[in-house]
Amino acid sequence: MPIVALAPMAGVTDAAYRQLIKKLAPETIVYSEFLSTDAIHYGAKKTMGMMNFDPESERPFIVQVFGKKPENFLSAAKIVEEMGADGIDINMGCPAARVTSSCHGSALMRDPVLAAELVQATKEAVKIPVSVKTRLGWESPDNLISFCTKLVEAGADALAIHGRTYAQKYSGAANWDPIYELKKEVSVPVIGNGDVTSAQVAVDKLGNLDGVMIGRATFGNPWVMKDVCDAFKSSKFQVPSSKKFVPTIERLSFAEKIPLIIEHCELSVRLKGQKRGMFEMRKHLASYVKGIDGAKDLRSKLVLVESVEEVRNILGV
């Protein structure tokens, strides 16, 4: 079966979200939120806590890291391996100004020598796989193949490519054509990312790639991961149009979605405590009700909730 991965997303892919996704689609590979190698190197309490995971329900679990100092990548990688992660992913794709201004994230695409040094330092430190998530390029895809070839030569075991440049951020349509071309030139697995919104889209976009990575499309619709896994597990790797495949989210009534929504809340509270857990659930709750009748009124209440019981009362269960 092709790889199906949940994209690492800051403020989203915490343990509660990962465990929810894994319950729906156990085949999914999950990643931590991206974590600073500097913070791991110095043992920052908050960052170390964000690496915690449930080995019974979250494997394979990959820790995604960012930074620019090879020596800190080396020490951080050892810590990640020791805490039991199944792999390390290096973020070379985040386009946020606060990240790129420090030569982190997608800014590394402008310094392929340093990018390769970071991969090499990480590989030298650990025995677990080391992958890289990046973009098509800074302003164009012209250097994608040369950049990624250097990363593979430095030891990268896999690549995940978001089909937009740094300049595009998240605007415009993702372009997967350069990713297909890259796959022809490298020997490691290549995963495509960007605009995978359904199982049908995943099947249509897979092409010669080894898998797909899905991020923003899971907001309010974690069921999409199950749909994609089910489609890839089918013998023909396709969603038959003749059967008029209907996504799970459309097959379920809102009432049928509520038990999973409540479970997500309970997971968040159990893992982060009542106050923080419910605060962080508010954005998810707003996404869960998007598009349903009365969504505006529900959203205005759900973004203020402080307990699971409040959520139950608002949703009428």
The C-alpha atoms of residue 300 and residue 306 are separated, in whole angstroms, by 13
Strand-pair partners of 214? 6
- Of the candidates 17, 15, 4, the one whose C-alpha atom is nearest the C-alpha of residue 287 is 17
Please give the C-alpha separations between residue 103 and each of 20, 66, 156, 202, in angstroms, as whole numbers.
33, 10, 20, 32
Q: Is the bond preceding residue 60 a cis peptide, omega within 30 degrees?
A: yes
Considering the chain, tell me which residue range(s) the CATH 1.10.1200.80 domain(s) occupy.
Answer: 252-315
Which string of DSSP letters, residue by residue, matches the chain? --EEEEPP-TTT-SHHHHHHHHHH-TT-BEEPPPEEHHHHHTT-HHHHHHT---TTTS-SEEEEEE-S-HHHHHHHHHHHHHTT-SEEEEEE----HHHHTTT-GGGGGG-HHHHHHHHHHHHHH-SS-EEEEEES-SSSGGGHHHHHHHHHHTT--EEEEESS-TTTTT-S----HHHHHHHHH-SS-EEEES---SHHHHHHHHTTSSEEEE-GGGTT-THHHHHHHHHHHSTTSS--GGGT---HHHHS-HHHHHHHHHHHHHHHHHHH-HHHHHHHHHHHHHHHTTTSTTHHHHHHHHTT--SHHHHHHHHT-
Radius of gyration, alpha carbons of the chain? 20
C-beta separation of 105 from 97 below 8 A: no
Start-to-end C-alpha separation, the chain: 38
Side chain identity at 158, as an amino acid letter? A
Instruction: For domain 3-249, give the fold.
Output: TIM Barrel (3.20.20)
Considering the chain, tell me which residue range(s) the CATH 3.20.20.70 domain(s) occupy.
Answer: 3-249
pTM: 0.93
Annotated catalytic, 94?
Answer: yes
Q: What is the reported pLDDT for 97?
A: 75
Domain 252-315 has CATH 1.10.1200.80: yes
Catalytic residue among 94, 148, 229, 265: 94
Q: Which two tokens stand for residue 292?
A: 């349903």
Q: What is the reported pLDDT for 239?
A: 65
Q: What is the reported pLDDT for 98?
A: 76
Q: What is the reported pLDDT for 103?
A: 74
C-beta separation of 224 from 203 below 8 A: no
Per-residue pLDDT of the chain (317 residues; tens, 9 = 90+): 999 999 999 989 999 999 999 999 999 999 999 999 999 999 999 999 999 999 999 999 999 999 999 999 999 999 999 999 999 999 998 888 778 777 788 899 999 999 999 999 999 999 999 999 999 999 999 999 999 999 999 999 999 999 999 999 899 999 999 999 999 999 999 999 999 999 999 999 999 999 999 999 999 999 999 999 999 988 666 665 556 678 898 899 999 999 999 999 999 999 999 999 999 999 999 999 999 999 999 999 999 999 999 999 999 88
Q: What is the reported pLDDT for 99?
A: 81
